[in-house]
Amino acid sequence: MPYRYLLFYKPYNVLSQFTDNSPPGQTRLTLKDFIPIPDVYPVGRLDHDSEGLMLLTNHGQLQHRLNDPKFEHPRTYWVQVERVPTEEALDILRQGVKIQDYKTRPARVSMIAEPDLPDRDPPIRFRKQIPTAWLEIILTEGKNRQVRRMTAAVGFPTLRLIRVAINTSPTNLPLQLTGLAPGQWRDLTPEEVQSVLKLFHRR
CATH number of the domain to which 154 belongs: 3.30.70.1560
pLDDT digits (tens, 9 = 90+) for 116-140: 999 998 888 877 789 999 999 999 8
pLDDT tens digits, 43-59? 988 999 999 999 999 99
Inform me whether the pLDDT recorded for 203 exceeds 60. no
126 lies in the same domain as 153 = yes
Q: Is the pLDDT of residue 169 over 70?
A: no
Q: Are residues 84 and 152 in the same domain?
A: yes
Average pLDDT over residues 175-200: 91
Residue 159 has pLDDT above 70, yes or no: yes
- Whether 171 shows a pLDDT value over 70: the answer reads no
Tell me what the mean pLDDT of segment 92-108 comes to: 91
Beta-carbon contacts of residue 31 (< 8 Å; ≥ 6 apart): 8, 10, 14, 15, 16, 17, 18, 42, 56
High-pLDDT (> 90) share of the chain, %: 66
Tell me the average pLDDT across 185-197: 92
- Among this protein's residues, is 187 annotated catalytic? no
| Domain residue limits at 148 | 74-166
Question: 33, 47, 68, 91: which one is catalytic?
Answer: 47
